[in-house]
Amino acid sequence: MKPIIIDRLSISFGPIRVLHDVSFDVTAGECFGLVGESGSGKSTILRCASMLTDIWDGTVRIGEHDVRKMPVAERCRTVQMVFQDPYGSLHPRHSIRTALDEGLRINGFDDREARLAQAMRDVGLPVEFLDRYPHQLSGGQRQRVAIARALILEPDVLFLDEPTSALDVSVQAEVLNLLVRLQQEKGFTYLMVSHDLAVVDHMCDRFAIMQHGRIVEVLDRDAITGGGATQPYAKQLIDASLEYERAI
């Protein structure tokens, strides 16, 4: 089990500062949520922490190690990411089998065929879909392939960017149950972005609320129903979500 420690993470694109000194810790084995305004920088935090970009300042540690200093192969086995936008993250001319097998091969896993089949079953897809291409799948099926690709490498830490927003609630339930089971069995640590506070409430122990590239407040799950938020934007977001669930 590995904790995540993010300390004064900042990034700018040209003259625009997108993250301002973002700091928070995720305990080993915890599920930590990131919620907030569209465009506030949630995906950018995940992209920085997984070194998809390295033009940021600050430090990110996973377990004992600074992510900047981890060799690529080790980083791959430690952290996997499920992207918000599964189409963009799957190569259009690679079959699903190729997409899933690549990581297994590079990281020297044995029993690859059995692992591929199990990964498909875990996310509720027929094993035959291994031979399809991304454009032959529905939006939610692609998202499940992206989840399978991350899980198959058995990383310690998973960054999940809106992992279930493209799924109907029945498939979402299966994926969330799977994530909870893996967390219990294998001690995965999750950092999960979501716009759905019901999902955050179901999955996360704590969560951070973001606006304009800053963390506004870090709250316990109970703060959603218990009125525990103190910052104006945090209160507003929680109230709007409660209202939305009752009847938009």
Ligand X SMILES: Nc1ncnc2c1ncn2[C@@H]1O[C@H](COP(=O)(O)OP(=O)(O)OP(=O)(O)O)[C@@H](O)[C@H]1O
For residues 163 and 58, what is the distance between their CA atoms, to the nearest angstrom?
A: 26
Measuring CA to CA, which residue among 179, 222, 217 is closest to residue 197? 222
Burial state string for 66-81 with b = 16 or more CB within 10 A and e = fewer than 16 = ebeebeeeebbebbbb
42 is an interface residue for ligand X by CB under 6 A: yes
Q: Of 53 and 107, which has the nearer Cβ to another protein?
A: 53
Which residues, numbered 74-133, are part of the site for another protein (CB under 8 A)?
84-88
36 is an interface residue for another protein by CB under 8 A: yes
- CA distances to 57, 170, 218, 230, 247 from 165, rounded to whole Å, are 30, 12, 22, 28, 19
Binding mask 139-178 for another protein (x = CB under 8 A): xxx--x----------------xx--xxxxxxxxxx-xx-
Q: Of 138 and 184, which has the nearer Cβ to Mg ion?
A: 138
CB of 207 to ligand X, least distance (A): 14
Which of 6, 22, 40, 179 touches ligand X by CB under 6 A? 40
Residue nearest to ligand X (CB): 140
For residues 176 and 173, what is the distance between their CA atoms, to the nearest angstrom?
A: 5
CB of 118 to another protein, least distance (A): 18
